[in-house]
Amino acid sequence: MALIQPVDHTIDYNIFQRLGDDLRPGMALVTSGATEIGRLDYLHRAGCELNGDPEQDKTDYSSQGQIVLMDNYRKFIHPEYGVRQVLVEHTHFNDPVKREHIRRFLQRAAAQNAIPIINYNDPVSDEENRKMELSGRRGNGEKVVECVDNDETAAVIAALLKAQTLVLLTATEGIYLDVNDPSTLVREVFAADIESLKAKVKELRTHCKGASRKGAGGADAKLAYALRAAESGSRVVIGHARHHIADLISGKIPCTHIGVYPEGV
């Protein structure tokens, strides 16, 4: 929803412009927004919304929204950089061969002056088949990746690339002890080791209830995925999409930083 203007429910082109201007080779963008932007695009063109099976409507909206998403990213990313769309599914990360294929592709993009834009492939993902596959893998004792949330996909990508920093962009300034009180923004969640960090994040998650929209995981899910990335060695930043990436990473503006202190600190 960070890509949507909250008042009139239209695409926020200022966010696209700022984000596109910030992106550089060596970064990988995991984007949400295809379903909602596809819904808005369909509504604009047809004058009504789809009224069929909710899962099928989601598929149809996301397919239409993918085009709009990529068109806007290409419009605002510096013209000298390539832009490469990557549509993934959970199975790509649960299969070691497919996972390695994606890792090498993303590394080549950085070397070839291109920016990969990654999104879950909703148009071809069938919910029932996904559940059956994941259930079978769990039954075999495997630790599975679900990709039910693009924050999870981002955390998986960060771990795959051993990313120095994972930035989770949202429609708030970060994580709050009380979402109704801006003064309770948590600026730092650091610990000397990963076990201590887990304890801190676990306590913080008790303050996070609900989500901004149906189907979203909210702040609690963001913290869970942030911890997964931190376990892989990434520093995690959670902040508002209206800010520049460099300002978020540097802590120049209010946001939430999560991670293990560098050795010796």
Same domain, 117 and 244: no
The count of structural domains within the chain is: 2
Boundary of a domain, candidates 117, 148, 179? 148
Same domain, 144 and 178: no
pLDDT confidence tier of residue 130, bands split at 50, 70 and 90: low
Is the pLDDT score of 145 beyond 80? no
Same domain, 174 and 142: no
Range of the domain at 233: 162-265
pLDDT tens across 101-126, in order? Answer: 999 999 999 999 999 999 988 777 66
Query: What's residue 215's pLDDT?
Result: 42
CA quadruple 169, 172, 174, 178: dihedral sign: negative
Instruction: Tally DSSP H helices, then E strands, for the chain.
Output: 10, 7
| Lowest mean pLDDT, pick from 34-38, 109-113, 128-132, 139-143 | 128-132
Boundary of a domain, candidates 85, 113, 148? 148
Phi, psi of 149 (to 5 degrees): -140, 140
- In single-letter form, the type of residue at position 214 comes to K
How confident is the model over 237-252, as a mean pLDDT?
94
Same domain, 259 and 175: yes
Same domain, 119 and 168: no
Query: What's residue 203's pLDDT?
Result: 92
Query: What's residue 133's pLDDT?
Result: 61
- Cβ-proximal residues to 214 (8 Å cutoff; 6+ apart), any chain: none
Token output for 228: 């997964």
In a domain, 217, yes or no: yes
How confident is the model over 239-250, as a mean pLDDT?
94
Token output for 19: 């984000």
How confident is the model over 123-146, as a mean pLDDT?
65
Find the helix or strand (DSSP H, E) in which 87 lies: strand 82-88
Boundary of a domain, candidates 115, 148, 181? 148
Query: What's residue 214's pLDDT?
Result: 47
Is the pLDDT score of 97 beyond 60? yes
Q: How far is CA 95 from CA 91, 138, 171, 234, in A?
A: 6, 13, 33, 23
pLDDT tens across 208-228, in order? Answer: 865 444 444 578 888 989 998
pLDDT tens across 11-66, in order? Answer: 899 999 999 999 999 999 999 889 999 999 999 999 999 999 988 999 999 999 99
pLDDT tens across 157-194, in order? Answer: 999 999 999 999 988 999 999 888 999 999 999 999 99
Q: Give the CATH number for residue 202.
A: 3.40.1160.10
Token output for 224: 């869970």
